[in-house]
């Protein structure tokens, strides 16, 4: 069995890594110790200098006091796929050279391979461990499967599962099935996701909150809304306390189906049970109501979140949605009332775009004196940005109001906005 495992893994590794893991010669004449290994600098370096630069950070730590492996890992998503691969390759080489025996270190490295969606590199980590006498475990196989599914390589993932099934030392466990469920959920393959859920139950493992999060998320992603509803009913029947992630996904399903009554009742239900709703949930509802011009529903939502004492971020989101909707409809009286109500709640405009939507409304209805009063009113709580000043300049120019235009330009100069 060990021979079969090694043969399979080496064959896959050879096939996927033959061109990727060729060492690039270091051609620069610069001193290694002068190279800056900070994440920002790595973004600018050519790929050929990545490993040499990282070597300089460990060989000459006195010249690189701010080098941090953790900060480097944090910037991995910002790097190109090639540079991210080289960083992780470099780390693996250091671990092997130092005869690292800690399984958790290799597991972490493989999880990073999954994060950058590089199954070939994860396979290289796995086979390198074997070559150095580190025996594989179920957890290592699970991590490798995760990397394969993250890279959309389900064929290799299934082959790895078959190896685990026929082994004696690294049989599939609860985490193995969970990995497949999460993987296929992320891929939007609900058929495979549900099959692995059934396989997990058949193997004697119970569904966890994480399982249901993946199942509901996968169904919503694939527009299988009925499936998401069924899994939610199953959650309630098991007595498992649902999570914010599940609630957000279910609400998204209602919004995408334009189930306005269900959206309203679902929000009320969440408030009764949880006493609060997340900003993401509010964003979904505000987006739905705004798209379909549901003014009354938006006002009712505001009353609901105010009465239930929701967080400032939630109140701000709903107030903003209402103001933007009225501004789009050119209902200036309602805009001004809504702005005044928001300010009385101790809130201010969330962003310049909201202010500019209101300004455009004033220009469309040619209410210039009222616009002056509005600007004076919000200056105490909101600093006008360049884009807002630009909107005023363009608006007054189009309206032929040269005196007001000159005033705005002077205000810009006094505010130091250029």
- Diameter of the chain by CA atoms? 87
What per-residue confidence (pLDDT) applies to 384? 92
Q: Domain check: are 324 and 372 in the same one? A: yes
| Boundary residue ending a domain (120, 144, 172) | 172
What per-residue confidence (pLDDT) applies to 290? 95
Q: Domain check: are 339 and 264 in the same one? A: yes
Q: Domain check: are 263 and 251 in the same one? A: no
Cα-Cα-Cα-Cα torsion 41, 46, 52, 58, nearest 10 degrees, comes to 20
pTM: 0.81
For 23, how many CA atoms within 13 A lie in the half-sphere containing its CB? 7
Q: Are the C-beta atoms of 242 and 274 separated by less than 8 Å?
A: no
Q: Are the C-beta atoms of 86 and 50 separated by less than 8 Å?
A: yes
Residue 135 lies in a domain: yes
Instruction: Write the CATH number for 353.
Output: 1.25.40
Q: Are the C-beta atoms of 372 and 401 separated by less than 8 Å?
A: no
Is residue 217 packed enough to be buried (19+ CB in 10 Å), middle (13-18) or exposed (0-12)?
A: buried
Residue 326 lies in a domain: yes
Q: Note down the domain range covering 410.
A: 383-417
What per-residue confidence (pLDDT) applies to 57? 63
Residue 151 lies in a domain: yes
3-state secondary structure 165-208: HCCCCCCCCHHHHHHHHHHHHHCCCHHHHHHHHHHHHHCCCCCC
Q: Domain check: are 376 and 391 in the same one? A: no
Domain count for the chain: 4
- Can you give the pLDDT of all 418 residues of the chain as single tens digits? 444 455 555 555 544 443 343 333 333 333 333 444 565 676 677 777 778 777 776 654 434 444 566 667 777 777 788 888 888 999 899 899 888 888 889 999 999 999 999 999 999 999 998 888 888 999 999 999 999 999 999 999 999 999 999 999 999 999 999 999 999 999 999 999 999 999 999 999 999 999 999 999 999 999 999 999 999 999 999 989 999 999 999 999 999 999 999 999 999 999 988 889 999 999 999 999 999 999 999 999 999 999 999 999 999 999 999 999 999 999 999 999 999 999 999 999 989 999 999 999 999 999 999 999 999 999 888 899 999 999 999 999 999 999 999 999 999 998 888 7
Distance CA 362, CA 351 (A): 18
């Amino acid at each position: 069995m060990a021979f079969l495992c090694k043969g399979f893994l080496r064959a896959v590794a050879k096939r996927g890594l033959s061109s990727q893991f060729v060492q690039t010669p270091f051609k620069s004449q610069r001193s290694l110790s002068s190279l800056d290994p900070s994440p920002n600098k790595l973004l600018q370096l050519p790929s050929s200098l990545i490993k040499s630069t990282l070597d300089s950070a460990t060989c000459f730590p006195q010249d690189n006091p701010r080098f941090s492996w953790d900060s480097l890992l944090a910037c991995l998503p910002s790097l190109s796929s090639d540079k991210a691969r080289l960083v992780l390759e470099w780390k693996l080489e250091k671990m092997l050279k130092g005869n690292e025996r800690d399984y958790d270190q290799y597991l972490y490295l493989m999880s990073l391979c999954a994060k950058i969606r590089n199954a070939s590199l994860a396979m290289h980590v796995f086979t390198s461990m074997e070559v150095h006498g580190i025996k594989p475990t179920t957890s290592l196989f699970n991590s490798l499967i995760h990397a394969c599914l993250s890279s959309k390589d389900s064929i290799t993932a299934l082959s790895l599962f078959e190896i685990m099934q026929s082994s004696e030392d690294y049989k599939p466990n609860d985490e193995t099935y969970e990995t497949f469920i999460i993987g296929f959920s992320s891929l939007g393959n609900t058929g495979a996701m549900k099959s692995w859920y059934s396989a997990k139950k058949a193997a004697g493992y119970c569904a966890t909150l994480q399982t249901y999060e993946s199942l509901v998320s996968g169904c919503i992603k694939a527009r299988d809304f009925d499936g998401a509803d069924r899994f939610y009913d199953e959650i309630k029947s098991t007595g498992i306390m649902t999570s914010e992630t599940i609630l957000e996904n279910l609400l998204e399903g209602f919004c995408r189906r334009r189930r306005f009554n269900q959206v309203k009742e679902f929000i009320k239900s969440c408030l009764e049970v949880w006493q609060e709703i997340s900003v993401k949930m509010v964003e979904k509802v505000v987006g739905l109501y705004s798209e379909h011009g549901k003014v009354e529903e938006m006002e009712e939502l505001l009353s609901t979140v105010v009465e239930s004492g929701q967080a400032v971020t939630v109140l701000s989101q709903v107030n903003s949605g209402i103001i933007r909707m009225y501004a789009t409809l050119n209902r200036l009286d309602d805009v001004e009332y809504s702005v005044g109500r928001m300010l009385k709640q101790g809130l201010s405009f969330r962003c310049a775009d909201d202010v500019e939507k209101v300004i455009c409304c004033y220009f469309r209805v040619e209410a210039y004196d009222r616009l002056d009063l509005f600007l004076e009113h919000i200056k105490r709580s909101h600093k006008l940005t360049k884009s807002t000043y630009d909107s005023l300049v363009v608006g007054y120019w189009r309206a032929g109001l040269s005196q007001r235009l000159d005033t705005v330009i002077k205000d810009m100069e006094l505010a130091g906005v250029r």
